[in-house]
Amino acid sequence: MDFDTITTDIPIIGPAKVPSPLRLGEHGEGFVDETERVIIDVNSENVTLAFEGNRPVPSFEKAGPRQRIYFDPSKLRCALVTCGGLCPGLNDIIRASVLELYYGYGVRNIYGIRYGLQGFIPGYSHEVVDLTPEVVVNIAKKGGSFLGSSRGPQDVEQIIDCLERMNIGVLFMIGGDGTLMAASKIADAIDQRGLKISVMGIPKTIDNDIYMVSRSFGFDTAVDVATTAIRAAHNEAEGYPDGIGLIKLMGRHSGFIACTASLSQQDVNFVLIPEVDFDLEGPKGLLASLERRLSARRHAVIVAAEGAGQKMLEKMQKGEQQFDESGNVRLHDIGLFLKDQINQHFAKKGIHISLKYIDPSYIIRSLPANSNDQVFCSFLGRDAVHAALAGKTRMLVSHWNNQFVHVPLSASAGRRKKVNPDGRLWYSVLEATGQNELKNK
Amino acid sequence: MDFDTITTDIPIIGPAKVPSPLRLGEHGEGFVDETERVIIDVNSENVTLAFEGNRPVPSFEKAGPRQRIYFDPSKLRCALVTCGGLCPGLNDIIRASVLELYYGYGVRNIYGIRYGLQGFIPGYSHEVVDLTPEVVVNIAKKGGSFLGSSRGPQDVEQIIDCLERMNIGVLFMIGGDGTLMAASKIADAIDQRGLKISVMGIPKTIDNDIYMVSRSFGFDTAVDVATTAIRAAHNEAEGYPDGIGLIKLMGRHSGFIACTASLSQQDVNFVLIPEVDFDLEGPKGLLASLERRLSARRHAVIVAAEGAGQKMLEKMQKGEQQFDESGNVRLHDIGLFLKDQINQHFAKKGIHISLKYIDPSYIIRSLPANSNDQVFCSFLGRDAVHAALAGKTRMLVSHWNNQFVHVPLSASAGRRKKVNPDGRLWYSVLEATGQNELKNK
Amino acid sequence: MDFDTITTDIPIIGPAKVPSPLRLGEHGEGFVDETERVIIDVNSENVTLAFEGNRPVPSFEKAGPRQRIYFDPSKLRCALVTCGGLCPGLNDIIRASVLELYYGYGVRNIYGIRYGLQGFIPGYSHEVVDLTPEVVVNIAKKGGSFLGSSRGPQDVEQIIDCLERMNIGVLFMIGGDGTLMAASKIADAIDQRGLKISVMGIPKTIDNDIYMVSRSFGFDTAVDVATTAIRAAHNEAEGYPDGIGLIKLMGRHSGFIACTASLSQQDVNFVLIPEVDFDLEGPKGLLASLERRLSARRHAVIVAAEGAGQKMLEKMQKGEQQFDESGNVRLHDIGLFLKDQINQHFAKKGIHISLKYIDPSYIIRSLPANSNDQVFCSFLGRDAVHAALAGKTRMLVSHWNNQFVHVPLSASAGRRKKVNPDGRLWYSVLEATGQNELKNK
Amino acid sequence: MDFDTITTDIPIIGPAKVPSPLRLGEHGEGFVDETERVIIDVNSENVTLAFEGNRPVPSFEKAGPRQRIYFDPSKLRCALVTCGGLCPGLNDIIRASVLELYYGYGVRNIYGIRYGLQGFIPGYSHEVVDLTPEVVVNIAKKGGSFLGSSRGPQDVEQIIDCLERMNIGVLFMIGGDGTLMAASKIADAIDQRGLKISVMGIPKTIDNDIYMVSRSFGFDTAVDVATTAIRAAHNEAEGYPDGIGLIKLMGRHSGFIACTASLSQQDVNFVLIPEVDFDLEGPKGLLASLERRLSARRHAVIVAAEGAGQKMLEKMQKGEQQFDESGNVRLHDIGLFLKDQINQHFAKKGIHISLKYIDPSYIIRSLPANSNDQVFCSFLGRDAVHAALAGKTRMLVSHWNNQFVHVPLSASAGRRKKVNPDGRLWYSVLEATGQNELKNK
């Protein structure tokens, strides 16, 4: 990643002059100073080069409570909204934010917007939820989103109208890449109207692929549950002669879940991810490799990220028109596609296989967060509150080099984190699976 | 169930004259006497009627160790085989049987047949596994079948040839209805050859639908995991406006898993099972009922046993020929069928819904057994050994009226336990879901 | 158990004349007739003997909804109270009862009494909780008791005063042996005042030791969690040379949890329960047996029910006065006592052991119920409501011969179910552990 | 932490001249270059100051496979040993190391030393275990240590004798601070004998307190299980009037588990750790604060790290001689001490409380690792192998700034990581608990 070009300054909606009501040490030892920053690139050589070249070493603002804040908590009204697909930890974020706002800063007007951005639009008639400690204290046990969610954009002006009507000072938006881009547009429109509303992003992506965010909440839980599915697939594969367990895991554009879950039990033989091309046919292709594996060991486990092999699917669709009438959806689903291709391949060869296909995606994303993610969410939610109360805006709360930091929306939105095909994660997968490059050249 | 016609006598391959090597109490208090029987029908009125009519009260032999056995353990050779689909607890059964044979009776030659009945057939070249305490002690943690399995029948004569060659005295067959029917045929062929081989069945059906078996192993674990899937579906449903969670659960001919899992969290709104017909269209049909539910509560959860609505699927296939080219498989899958029908219904009405479909079957059946099933399997496995060593054959070990009993294969094979549409289980489901009869007349 | 002397008639507070509002089948197929009974003793021989002797075959009323009920639901006011120790499933019982009362029968006034019987006594000032579906729908995920509990008796007259003041028609009491005896006294006092209040018991005992109740809720969950503790103890034992894992499990008067949990993983070597005496010293005593086990296998796992060896503890206390000042509590705790004795024994012999002591009791009893127990609780709670609405009183809802039945308080209270030292469960434990009788004579 | 004084150079036992047998990319893209380093302190200001002062920016070697290695894998013999207390993930480390040695590098002679350092000493007669992929493939499911462990030092010369006899080239030592200090001594003795043996440390501490190691394996699993114990304690506390749940968690010298687990469910009211002093008596002491909490909310949850309040315990012991005869062990146990003090305090005041004490330590440390820790262990184990094969010695594999790095033993051994009483973690705990400083001045 080319870190030098990253913007790291956090926009503010006004100067922080109000003393924080938080009691953090006799002399305020628990506050984070605005000058505290975390350098982005820990590669020693790059740091040295920067200094030798008299270039600044890029760094992010450290997250945490500030001694002086912008808003008057007694008058502040906040809104929270969760957008896009479900993800373990949504309710933990909501709970942590509300508890910090309420008990930490004394904010008494906290509103939950129902069903994502739809909740702002009068036409949908979704009610607003009053968020108090009593309401949120037990929601984390349940999974899903306490506020509900929805997909897709909504009219920005109507959203701002709603924020104005409700007299909101901080809007917390918990969502993925699309949501963060919507957050930018909302912040633009807020500026145009000359309003003083902080737009605070909390990055949500179960795929763990948000740029400049080393870890996103829910990912750890997802790997946990995915591991159970892989274990099941492994048992199914071992349970029958020439048994194959095929699991599709989440990951539209990046294979972090597929790679990481495969490293857990280490009983996967092939991992297919969007970042690494593979061939189906040919001597080094997946089908021939799979055949060799079966002949040697009588069983095999394949993990495919949902975005793997998409080019191949698109190509086939165009070239083989007769497939069109069977419906696009089926063709684009790498799991069902591989299931068909593998079954056909071995049927043609007269080899009886037993293929079991598992797609655990909806089970994974809607379950409660594990303890690790719960702790992580508690920091994310509280740090979003600290940043917003201090008057920061157009930013997201991120985890970077093992620290919580502030990242401007402009540095992250529109780009994506990917598995490096020449990096440690992917090579570890290759070692753990014993899988060779599945390319014919 | 018409209990009067049930055969309850257990065939033996010879008289039990050898003193059992088990030490069960100073005076053998731990042994079960051959006269101990468990009455089948606990309905007080039926028992009285039987006596008043001078008819015998039908009863099953109680399972457990006998003071005298048929086989000489030092010379006995046993074989175990697991057939059909995976089921939580297979490895616990294997472990319990081997431990009892080895430590209890001192049998030293115990063989595991690989990959179901295939393992008997020379053409497949599956090796045989020596089963010792060391080999089996840790297999229960893994799930799946340690021996592997396969589906479908194999040539009975080749199986007997193999048993003869290996000089097997007891064959333990762990499998479902098909396996138990195969067991009958194998026992017939054994008789025809005049061999002294006990055929001992251990009923395996994750659907819990074996006749005269009130509970089968793995069922409890299946309900446990199914509950997690339902919870996920519920979160997905609540997470979006007009959200629908649709879960397909195992149950080809009987809806025990669907009914029982729906009673656990009590957040299911519609349960569809093979035993109870339902309409899709019409004012009382599923689609209209679902629409009413959504309009009232904005979300709904549907659980469908895989065998539900099969007649409807078959009818549609014949009547609507244009469906044929889409493939039979898709049409026969009630889950995908309902997903399509529901999506089409609301699309036609211009109602935007968010339907999430979850099929957890392969995850459920291949996981390790929970503690409850482990304990249950430990009794089943040990009681199968006790019965076989005592010279009993052509029977299965069953659980009935809270006791372990011996049921002749002839009393169970070929029939099936079903959810009674006028019984407590189904009415409890109706109460818990609030679902009315989904029939238009 | 001597079943002939058991009273099985259920007292009523008045004739059931009101038609049930439940819709259970077109022709009421889902209702249970008052004549339906479940015979108590399924031993075939005993049944025959009874008939031959012209003695009645004892049977229990079958539980379930009745076509006619006693109370007018629109006017009925109900109270629920949970007493004694926590137990997995308490909240499921509360939820199921409230849902059935509210949705099934249309009862709108349901009150939760806080903190057990204390909640009736004005002096404690515990508020009463309004129980509605909204309030109870999510409580089952949490564990513990939503209403709170307390130990010990309270003044019966003050309890009745409270019931009168609140105009309660049905009191659901969820508790153990002590609570059921209190229920009897409360019912007596109600009679003396000539009130029409049904007292309905739901037996709660994590130890599974209530008389005439084959299974009590929470037991299955307890075994599940206990198994995890045993697995930990086993790993600790195997992890060190001459390692010993010692686990104390619940079971003051009966060893059901200890026995059943030991059958799950089958890695326990010694099980100590209240029903079976054992010696510590002497050639066949626990210490010598343990020493032999260590010398043969280098590790050992011991499970002790909390009520095991109590006589030994009492005896030691009297004989060795110097122990008195160390406190009675410590002496009566079999876990700590065994830990000391074992450590001293091997220290004296100069053998270095590594003993790890685990007491998981409070973790076990306060966790949420597993799916199996949840389903069980849903039946118990609903059947208690059915029975009470039908005007039955002074009874408890029980599970017997795999059916839910009504048992008069007088048949159960004051007696206790115990592990039979000559029965299948205990002999299975002996087989699974390989443990001999630990008595020197 | 004063990073400037840290030694970061990794000793080697010889130059790496042998080409690595690993295939990592066409052009070796998967190898890590010896010049790749990770800067230690990501504080932007400190980095700038270093450069302005012309001081080097301290950095650690990046872990990972090297293109050239020191040992000839075909001749290399390796030994693994696990020391000290059990910790989730031990078996994952063993498995990952063996798989990498065997499949990655082709090492065929890998030996497991039984029961910690005892296994080297002839007097104990512990056998050595041949470690092959078949032996280790399933050990991770079990928890504990497959090799066994023991505490305490052993004679270094005898250890070296054994290594020489076995002709070991690499010794992998998995253990805590004591083990790493032993590793240093062993390395010294190896040097004195002029042997070429690499000593490779893998830091194990469930407390997460090893210096210069930001995360140690097993910690995440420990927090997971500790959370369950806290949930139980919370249910017990809420379940009774004036209920108190008291949990003792691991943490002799640092409170990371106590702090982190308390942030997960956020239902803890008091966290006591070794790093932060507290008073028991006095207006701001624990007892008075607890009393205020109970009076306001009727329940409280207290988490105490085992090393909390030790000074207080020591002081009491000296001052109140009569306590001596009750045994030091009991006095030093903060959990039992607090239990007594709290019970006495409220008894004196005539307030009836219900205190439940939970000590889950042995359950936590002996369970299998969760998925997150499994993945982490797989990297640790493989990176230890990469480093050792490259000829590095006297180092440990660490995780720092989200990267795996090499840390010299000399930089870590003898120091300890602690919770910073003025840092984010502790202040987050204070916010989550609402607990004030428990000091009277």
User: Above 80 in pLDDT, residue A326?
Assistant: no
User: Alpha helices of C167-255 — where are they, by DSSP H?
Assistant: 177-192, 219-238
Distance from CA of B432 to the nearest CA of C (A): 8
Q: Which one is catalytic: D92, D207, D220, D267?
A: D207
What 3-state class would DSSP assign to C131? Answer: coil
- Distances in whole angstroms, Cα of residue B376 to Cα of each of A413, B139, B225, B383: 55, 16, 18, 11
Closest CB from A115, A149, A363 relative to B360: A363
pLDDT by residue (tens digit) across B150-209? 998 999 999 999 999 999 999 999 999 999 999 999 999 999 999 999 999 999 999 999
CB atoms within 10 A of CB D101: 28
- Give percent above pLDDT 70 in chain A: 95
Task: Cite the active site residues of B.
Answer: 207
**Would you call C277 exposed, middle or buried from its count of C-beta atoms within 10 A (0-12, 13-18, 19+)?**
middle
Residues of B with CB under 8 A from a CB of A: 86, 115, 118, 124, 126, 142-145, 148-150, 228-229, 231-236, 238-241, 325-326, 354, 356-360, 362-363, 366-367
Q: Which of B240, B249, B324, B340 to mutate to test the interface with A (most CBs of A within 10 A)?
A: B240
What residues have CB less than 8 Å from A214, skipping those under 6 apart?
Answer: A398, A399, A400, A401, D402
Q: Which of A232, A354, A366 sits opposite B363 (nearest CB)?
A: A232
* Residue in chain A nearest C143 by alpha carbon: A141
For residues A98 and A79, give the distance between their C-alpha atoms in angstroms, rounded to a whole number: 10
Contact D342, D290 (CB under 8 A): yes
User: Over 80: is that where the pLDDT of D318 sits?
Assistant: no
Per cent of chain A over pLDDT 90 is: 83
Strands A354-358 and A243-249 turn out to be parallel
**Contacts with B142 from chain D: Cβ below 8 Å:** 138, 141
Alpha-carbon gap, residue B209 to B305, rounded angstroms: 13
Strand order through the sheet with C198-203: C37-39, C59-62, C403-408, C395-400, C198-203, C170-175, C77-82, C109-113, C128-130
Domain ranges of chain B: 3-217+369-400, 221-365+422-433
Work out the average pLDDT over B101-119.
Answer: 97
Span B317-335, mean pLDDT?
52
Nearest CB among A224, A260, A261 relative to D370 is that of: A224
Q: Do D223 and A375 touch (CB under 8 A)?
A: yes
Size of interface A-C (CB pairs under 8 A): 8
What the block records as the tokens of C427 is: 């002999």
Distance from CA of A337 to the nearest CA of D (A): 29
* pLDDT band at A328; cut points 50, 70, 90: very low
What is the three-class DSSP state of B411?
Answer: helix
CA distance A159 to chain D (A): 33
Q: How confident is the model at residue B382 (pLDDT cuts 50, 70, 90)?
A: very high
Place of tokens 């089970």: A363
Angle between helices A334-348 and A310-319 (to 10 degrees): 70
In percent, how much of chain B has pLDDT > 70? 95
How distant, in Å, are the alpha carbons of C275, C368, D204, D305, D431 from that of D420? 53, 36, 21, 15, 15
**pLDDT tens string D424-440:** 999 999 999 989 889 88
Residues of B in contact with D135 (CB under 8 A): none
CA D313 to chain C, closest CA, distance in angstroms equals 19
Report the pLDDT averaged over residues D354-379: 95
Q: Say whether pLDDT at B318 is over 50.
A: yes
Q: How confident is the model at residue D215 (pLDDT cuts 50, 70, 90)?
A: very high
Q: Which residue of C has its CA nearest to B378?
A: C263
- CB contact under 8 Å between A150 and B241, yes or no, is yes
Q: Indicate whether D30 pLDDT > 60.
A: yes
For A197, A376, B373, the CA distances from A110, given in Å and listed in that order, are 14, 22, 47
Q: Do D370 and A374 touch (CB under 8 A)?
A: no
Query: Residue C325: its pLDDT value, please?
Result: 35
With CB atoms and an 8 Å threshold, state whether C424 touches B30.
yes
| Residue D149 C-alpha from the chain's centroid | 15
Asked whether the beta carbons of residue B220 and residue C59 sit closer than 8 angstroms, the reply is: no
- Tens-digit pLDDT profile for residues C381-425: 999 999 999 999 999 999 999 999 999 999 987 789 999 999 999
* Sign, CA torsion C167/C173/C178/C181: positive
Q: How far apart are CA A4 and CA A41, in angstroms?
A: 9
- Candidates D371, D382, D397: best to mutate against A (most CBs of A within 10 A) is D371
Best A224, A389, A424 residue to mutate vs chain D (most D CBs within 10 Å): A424
Give pLDDT, residue A324.
Answer: 35
In whole angstroms, what separates CA D274 from the centre of its chain?
Answer: 16
Share of chain D above pLDDT 70, in %: 95
CB–CB contact B142 D141 (8 Å): yes
Picking from C150, C228, C238, the nearest residue to D363 by CB comes out as: C228
Determine the average pLDDT of the residues in A259-264. Answer: 96
Q: What is the pLDDT of residues D104-161, one digit of tens each?
A: 999 999 999 999 999 999 999 999 999 999 999 989 888 999 999 999 899 999 999 9
Q: Mean pLDDT for chain B?
A: 92
**DSSP codes joined into one string, B213-272:** -S--TTHHHHHHHHHHHHHHHHHHHHTSTTEEEEEEES-SS--HHHHHHHHHH---SEEE
* Reported confidence tier of residue A6, pLDDT bands at 50, 70, 90: confident
Provide the greatest CA pair distance for chain B: 78
CB within 8 Å: A38 and D38: no
- The pair phi, psi for residue B188, each rounded to 5°, is -60, -50
CA dihedral sign, ordered D437, D438, D440, D441 = negative
Position C34: which residue type?
A: E
Average pLDDT over residues A320-340: 61
Chains that touch A (3 or more CB pairs under 8 A): B, C, D
Decide if D245 contacts D354 (C-beta within 8 A): no
ipTM score: 0.93
Chain A partners within 8 Å of C142 (Cβ): 138, 141
Residue D324 has pLDDT above 80, yes or no: no
Distance from CA of D165 to the nearest CA of A (A): 32
Residue C56 pLDDT exceeds 60: yes
Over the stretch A169-214, which tens digit does the pLDDT of each residue have? 999 999 999 999 999 999 999 999 999 999 999 999 999 999 999 9
How near does any CA of chain D get to the CA of A266, in Å?
A: 9
Q: Which residues of C touch B99 (CB under 8 A)?
A: 266, 432
Active site residues of C: 207
CATH of domain C220-365+422-433: 3.40.50.460
User: Is the distance from CB of C429 to CB of C437 less than 8 angstroms?
Assistant: no
The verdict on a CB contact (< 8 Å) between C47 and B39 is yes
Which of B134, B136, B137, B138 to substitute to test the interface with D, most D CBs within 10 Å? B138
- Beta-carbon separation of A36 and D51 below 8 A: no
- Structure token pair of residue A75: 């008058």
Question: Helix %, strand %, coil % for chain B, to 5?
Answer: 40, 15, 40
Asked if A142's CB is within 8 angstroms of C142's CB, the reply is no
Domains D3-217+369-400 and D219-365+422-433 share a fold: yes
Rounded Cα gap, residues A143 and B91, in angstroms: 33
List the one residue out of A42, A48, A33, A120 whose CA is nearest residue A80: A120
pLDDT tens readout for residues D2-29: 666 788 999 999 999 999 999 888 888 8
pLDDT, tens digit, for every residue of C293-333?
999 999 999 999 999 998 888 776 665 444 433 333 444 78
Q: Among the listed ranges B83-92, C188-197, C412-421, D188-197, which one has the minimum average pLDDT value?
A: C412-421
Confidence of residue A302 (pLDDT cuts 50, 70, 90): very high
Place domain A222-365+422-433 in its CATH homologous superfamily: Phosphofructokinase domain (3.40.50.460)
Give the closest-approach CA distance of A343 to chain C in angstroms: 37
For domain B221-365+422-433, give the CATH superfamily: Phosphofructokinase domain (3.40.50.460)
For D258-291, write each residue's pLDDT tens digit.
Answer: 999 999 988 999 999 999 999 999 999 999 999 9
Calculate ∠ Cα C211-C216-C220, nearest 5°. 135
At B95 the three-state DSSP class reads helix
Please state the rounded mean pLDDT for residues A105-111: 98
Q: CA-CA distance, A143 to B263, in Å (whole number)?
A: 20
Digit-coded pLDDT (tens) for C357-384: 999 999 999 999 999 999 999 999 999 9
Q: Per CATH, which fold does D219-365+422-433 belong to?
A: Rossmann fold (3.40.50)
Q: Average of pLDDT values for C265-293?
A: 95
Residue C13 has pLDDT above 70, yes or no: yes
Q: Which pLDDT belongs to residue D440?
A: 84
Interface test with B, best of D91, D135, D138, D139 (most B CBs within 10 A): D138
Instruction: Retrieve residue B112's tokens.
Output: 């595991």
- Cβ <8 Å between B150 and A360: no
pLDDT band at D316 (very low <50, low <70, confident <90, very high): low
- Nearest CA to D202 out of D152, D145, D242 is that of D145
Virtual torsion, Cα D222, D227, D230, D234, nearest 10 deg: 180
Indicate left, alpha or beta for B218 from its phi (over 0: left) and psi (-120 to 50: alpha).
Answer: left
Q: What average pLDDT score do residues D225-251 get?
A: 96
Rounded distance between C-alpha atoms, residue B407 and residue B210, angstroms? 11
Identify the pLDDT of residue C318.
62
pLDDT given at position A316: 67
Residue B412 · residue B180 · CB < 8 Å: yes
The answer to whether the CB of A170 falls within 8 A of the CB of A388 is: yes
Cβ of C236 and D115 within 8 Å? Answer: no
Minimum distance, in Å, between the CA of residue C178 and any CA atom of chain A: 32
Averaged pLDDT, C138-150: 94
A145–chain B nearest CA distance, Å: 6
A 10 A CB-CB count for D437 gives 17
Catalytic residue among A41, A177, A207, A359: A207
A69-102 residue pLDDT tens? 999 999 999 999 999 999 999 999 999 999 999 9
Q: Give the C-alpha distances (Å, rounded to integers) separating B58 from A401, B61, C120, C402, D150.
A: 73, 10, 51, 18, 60
Contacts of B411 (CB under 8 A, 6+ apart): B6, B7, B8, B211, B212
* CATH architecture, domain defined by A3-217+369-400: 3-Layer(aba) Sandwich (3.40)
Helix axes D286-297, D334-348, angle to 10 degrees: 60
Inter-chain CB proximity A145 and B239 less than 8 Å = yes
Give D325's pLDDT tier (boundaries 50, 70, 90).
Answer: very low
Contact flag C264-B375 (C-beta cutoff 8 Å) = yes
DSSP strand pairing (C77-82 vs C170-175): parallel
Chain B residue with minimal CA distance to D141?
A: B141
Chains linked to B by 3 or more Cβ pairs within 8 Å? A, C, D
Report CB contact under 8 Å: A362, B233: yes
Which of D391, D388, D386 minimizes the C-alpha distance to D14?
Answer: D391
